[in-house]
């Protein structure tokens, strides 16, 4: 089973992945967190400055190469982390899955054909949860974590927010990300039949 937690930066994805895995593990169900950390790979870090330079001098080329790196890193995480657990029938809880990468590419205007082809090959999420928060909340949380957002970073966050608005109606479950975190976890479990019986022990 794959549970995908999606949402804009600051929505609380990492917290919900941790809470859900803690709950399941406490009751004897193997649950494994996987983070789609697309931009911390050695390849991305190594080529980041070159990509930025190419994007400023030849935008289509820079965006095309960026898209390729996103596809390669996504495929690597799926093949090395998700599929081995999925094939054993264990629960994988993803901090972002396929929607996150696609949203990022579209927010930049980068080509997404190869990414969509990869998404067609990848195992489908059994439950996709979108944590929705207002843009102002996202900005506030990001600034508390990483400092003041200005210029291109702020504009890009706004573009990602707009992309997520278009997608949020097509997920299995959309939840207000400003709710108390324990309530969010309960709502996720209540919509995932395979783990309800396990979680029921918290509220006998």
Q: How confident is the model at residue 204 (pLDDT cuts 50, 70, 90)?
A: very low
How does pLDDT run across 84-131, given as a tens digit for each residue?
Answer: 999 998 899 999 999 999 999 999 899 999 999 999 999 999 899 999
Q: What's the average model confidence in pLDDT over 179-193?
A: 87
What is the domain count for the chain? 1
Three-class secondary structure of residue 145 per DSSP: helix
Q: What pLDDT, on a 0 to 100 scale, did the predictor assign at position 48?
A: 73
Q: CATH no. for residue 111? A: 3.40.50.300
- What value, to the nearest 5°, has the Cα angle with vertex 43 and ends 37 and 44? 55
Question: Helical H runs in the chain?
Answer: 13-26, 42-57, 59-77, 83-87, 98-108, 113-121, 135-146, 151-167, 181-190, 193-199
How does pLDDT run across 46-88, given as a tens digit for each residue?
Answer: 777 787 788 888 889 989 988 998 999 899 999 999 999 999 9
Taking residue 12's Cβ as centre, other Cβ atoms within 10 Å add up to: 20
Give residue 183's domain range. 2-202
């Amino acid at each position: 089973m794959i549970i995908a937690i999606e949402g804009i930066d600051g929505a609380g994805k990492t917290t919900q992945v941790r809470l859900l895995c803690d709950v399941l593990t406490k009751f004897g169900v193997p649950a494994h967190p996987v983070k789609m950390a697309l931009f911390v790979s050695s390849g991305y870090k190594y080529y980041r400055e070159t990509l930025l330079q190419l994007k400023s001098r030849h935008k289509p080329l820079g965006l095309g190469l960026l898209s390729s790196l996103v596809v390669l890193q996504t495929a690597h995480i799926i093949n090395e982390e998700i599929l081995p657990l999925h094939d054993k029938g264990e629960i994988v809880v993803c901090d972002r899955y396929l929607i996150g990468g696609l949203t990022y590419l579209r927010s930049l205007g980068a080509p997404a054909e190869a990414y969509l082809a990869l998404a067609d090959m990848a195992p489908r999420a059994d439950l996709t949860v979108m944590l929705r928060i207002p843009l102002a909340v996202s900005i506030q949380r990001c600034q508390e974590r990483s400092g003041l957002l200005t210029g291109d970073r702020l504009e890009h966050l706004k573009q990602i927010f707009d992309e997520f608005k278009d997608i949020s109606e097509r997920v299995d479950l959309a939840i207000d990300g400003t709710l108390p975190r324990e309530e969010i976890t309960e709502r996720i479990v209540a919509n995932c039949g395979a783990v309800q019986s396990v979680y029921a022990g918290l509220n006998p």
